[in-house]
Amino acid sequence: MRLPPLTMLCTIARRDTTADDYGEPSAPSVVASDVPCYWWAGQVATSAPGNLQSLVAVTIEHVMFAPGQDVRAGDHIQTVTDEFGRVVFTVSDYRVVVGTAFQRNHIDCTLRLGQAIGGRT
What percent helix, strand, coil does the chain show, rounded to 5? 5, 55, 40
**Residue among 117, 105, 85, 92 at smallest CA distance from 13:** 92
Spans of the chain, pLDDT less than 50: 117-121
Is 121 part of any domain? Answer: no
**Residue range(s) defining the domain that contains residue 51:** 8-17+26-115
Number of domain units in the chain: 1
Is 68 part of any domain? Answer: yes
> pLDDT of 47-61, one tens digit each?
777 776 777 777 889
Is 37 part of any domain? Answer: yes
Contact criterion met (CB below 8 Å) for 12 and 37: no
Is 35 part of any domain? Answer: yes
Is 38 part of any domain? Answer: yes
Tell me, what CATH number does 84's domain have? Answer: 2.40.10
Contact criterion met (CB below 8 Å) for 96 and 83: no
Backbone φ/ψ region at 80: left (φ over 0), alpha (ψ -120 to 50), beta: beta
